Amino acid sequence: MELGLIIGLVIGIVIGYLLLKSSVLKNSILKEDVEKRYILRELYIESSDRLKKKEEEFNEATKSILDLSSRLASLQKEEEGMNEKMKAFKEEIETLHSRSHEQFKNLANEILEEKSKRFTEQNKQNINEIMNPLRDKIKDFQEKVEKSYSMESAERNTLKGEIKKLVELNQTISKDANNLAMALKGDSKKQGNWGEIILEKVLERSGLEKDREYKVQYSLQDTEGNRHQPDVVVFLPGEKHIIVDSKVSLVAYERFINAATEEEKELNLLNHIVSVKKHIDDLGKKNYQSLPTIDAPDFVLLFMPIESSFSIAVQADNELFNYAWDRKIVIVSPSTLLATLRTIAATWKQEKQARNVFEIAEESGKLYDKFCNLIEDLINMGKKMDAAKESYNEAMKKVSDGPGNIVRRIENIKKLGAKATKSLPPNLISRAGEE
């Protein structure tokens, strides 16, 4: 019985456990269902709210699209109007560009022509200021050279005539000497004076200028202060000198001419040679060429005014020239002295011409330097003009080139209604609008 009770109790406990488990399981299933439904409800509520917001956003977007469509239609109409205005404006700009291009071209040509004319005139004036003195100097030099050549040609052409006249003069002098022989005979002072007169006549015919290229009775002093006075001192270029002293041997010569016999002639000829040598010795002792105040060759010219007296002495004594040279003396007659003086005169003319040539060359050099300076100034002027032009082009590029340039913006301000009494050059506006 107890076993049955125990078995019944166990069975009851088992049944109760099963019922309790079934109840707990059922309650668990219901709880999960309730949680799921709650979650679904929350999700539904949240989805509903989000959907409501999306609808509101959609409505706002739709409204915005409608507004934008309306504005787009308005802008399209404005664009069509602007296109029509731009087309008309472009046509007007093309017309103005064509006109302004032609006007600017004409204006530029006028300005360039005027500037070129002014520049050419200024250069011509500057060059004339430099070249005219040079041209005058060259003209003067040419005239002097032509005059000099003409004078030299004339002198060469007349030289034969002068020599002929000299021969005639010598003949006349010889005749005069013969005629004066009686009057001068025995008076050495008068003979000396007459010889000096003949010497001066030869000097006058030589072409030398008195008191400049030769001096008569020129006083000189030696180292001891003694005074010396040769008949003539001839000046040479380069501050050189030649001394000429006249000596007359007339008495023995006149006797030789008038001798009746050969013995008398021979005797008087020897006396004549002795007289000439005495003059040579006397002149050599004076030693004029060594005076400190002059610069002369190592000899003195002994002038014999009677040509025939000179020639007879030289022919009679072949060593007479050597005799004189040993004593630093050179014997000359009127003809040989005149030839020597003519040579000296020609040397002076060449010296003067050389001085003129040197002065003209110096002046020409100065003018050439000034001309070179002018050319350098003109080159620098050209460089500065090129630099100014380049600076101008760069400045114009900054003003009128590139998008949004200053010219375009300023012109747009005028189009927007700015009041102005002047206008920019059409070509500048066109250039600014092409960028």
| Beta bridge pairs of residue 103 | none
d(CA 238, CA 351): 9
Q: For strand 227-228 and strand 300-303, is the pairing parallel, antiparallel, or unpaired?
A: unpaired
User: 246 and 303 in contact (C-beta within 8 Å)?
Assistant: yes
CA distances from 333 to 123, 246, 318, 358 (A): 65, 10, 16, 37
Tallying the residues shown for the chain, one arrives at 435
Residues 6+ apart with CB under 8 A from 163: 335
Place of tokens 């101008």: 392
> What pLDDT is attached to residue 207?
87
Report how far residue 289's alpha carbon sits from residue 243's, in angstroms, rounded to the nearest whole number: 7
How far, in Å, CA of 267 to CA of 269, rounded? 5
Q: Cα–Cα distance between 143 and 146 in angstroms, integer?
A: 5
pLDDT for position 324: 92
Residue located via tokens 């003003």: 399
Say what the pLDDT of residue 105 is: 59
The answer to whether 298 and 289 are in contact (CB under 8 A) is yes
Specify whether the CB–CB gap between 234 and 208 falls below 8 A.
yes
Distance CA(325)–CA(301), nearest Å, equals: 10
Cβ atoms within 10 Å, residue 196: 19
Q: What is the dihedral of CA 403, 409, 412, 414, to 10 degrees?
A: -160
Of 358, 291, 342, nearest to 166 (Cα)?
342
What's the chain look like in SS3?
CHHHHHHHHHHHHHHHHHHHHHHHHHHHHHHHHHHHHHHHHHHHHHHHHHHHHHHHHHHHHHHHHHHHHHHHHHHHHHHHHHHHHHHHHHHHHHHHHHHHHHHHHHHHHHHHHHHHHHHHHHHHHHHHHHHHHHHHHHHHHHHHHHHHHHHHHHHHHHHHHHHHHHHHHHHHHHHHHHHHHHHHCCCHHHHHHHHHHHHHHHHHHCCCCECCCEEECCCEECCCCCEECCCEEEEECCCEEEEEEECCCCHHHHHHHHCCCHHHHHHHHHHHHHHHHHHHHHHHHHCHHHCCCCCCCCCEEEECCCHHHHHHHHHHCCCHHHHHHHCCEEEECHHHHHHHHHHHHHHHHHHHHHHHHHHHHHHHHHHHHHHHHHHHHHHHHHHHHHHHHHHHHHHHHHHHCCCCCHHHHHHHHHHCCCCCCCCCCHHHHHHHHHC
Closest CA to 283 of 336, 236, 243: 243
Per-residue tens of pLDDT for the chain, all 435 residues: 555 556 666 676 666 666 665 555 555 555 566 566 667 777 767 777 777 777 787 777 777 777 777 777 777 777 777 777 767 656 665 665 566 556 555 655 666 666 666 766 766 676 666 666 766 766 776 676 677 667 666 666 666 666 666 666 666 666 665 555 555 555 567 777 888 888 889 888 888 888 888 988 888 888 888 888 898 999 988 888 889 998 888 788 888 888 888 888 889 889 989 999 999 999 989 888 888 888 888 899 999 988 888 889 989 899 999 999 999 999 999 988 998 889 888 888 888 887 777 677 777 777 777 778 878 887 887 788 888 777 777 777 766 676 667 777 777 776 776 666 777 777 766 766 654
423, 428, 432, 435: CA torsion to nearest 10: 150
